[in-house]
Amino acid sequence: MPTFFRRHPDALIPAFVFALALATLIGAWTSELGFGYVPCHLCLEQRIPYYIGLPVVLAALIAAGLDAPRNVTRTLLGLAGLVFAFNVYLASYHAGVEWRWWPGPPDCSPGGAGGVTTTQDLLNQLNGIHVVSCTDAPFRFLGLSFAGWNAVVSVVLVVAAFFGALRGPRRAMTAAEA
């Protein structure tokens, strides 16, 4: 175990949650930019909890690294757990839409009608819209789509964050023990 985590054992769980959440978000960007997958409206919504949760977990990691009172780190991890719990809902909803267990939103497209002032503006905008279906999973691995895997990862993030928020204090190793 690296010396940092021996001296700051409360930083281990925030570091794990941060690394897993960041890797998941980078994976989503890579599938889009590197492999050409176009995210649907629901896919983009599932990224919002990562954009909120990552800074919260980073703050918990920094607090633990600075030996802030444990309640600070625990509160931040609990808050991150709630954010990622909401993402479990979003990802599960999207996976259910893909499996056609329930209907998706009626629009299910990333675009809107902003800037439309005339009928010609609306027609021009409609010609440029490519609606990505929320019901068709572009990729499955071991039977799960991107949304399904996001639900699984989000559950792991929730469990880890709440575990870190609820566990008892850990004693840091002294220099002689390291």
Q: What's the CATH number where 162 sits?
A: 1.20.1550
Please compute the mean of the pLDDT values over residues 62-84 and round it to a whole number. Answer: 93
What is the tally of structural domains in the chain?
Answer: 1
Distance in angstroms (rounded) separating the CA atoms of residues 139 and 70: 42
Asked if pLDDT for residue 122 goes beyond 70, the answer is no
C-alpha to C-alpha distance for 165 and 167, rounded to whole angstroms: 6
Judge whether 177 lies within some domain. Answer: no
Q: Could you tell me the pLDDT band of residue 84, with boundaries at 50, 70 and 90?
A: very high
Nearest to 42 by CA among 107, 99, 116: 107
Whole-angstrom distance, CA of residue 80 vs CA of residue 109: 28
60 in a domain, yes or no? Answer: yes
Q: Is residue 174 part of a domain?
A: no
Q: Is residue 74 domain-resident?
A: yes
pLDDT tens-digit series, residues 8-65: 778 889 999 999 999 998 988 887 777 667 777 787 888 899 999 999 999 999 999 8
Does the residue 42 lie in any domain?
A: yes
Tell me whether residue 171 is in a domain.
Answer: no
Domain extent at residue 35: 3-166
Mean pLDDT of the chain: 78
Radius of gyration, CA atoms only, the chain:
20
Q: How far apart are CA 98 and CA 82, in angstroms?
A: 25
176 belongs to a structural domain: no
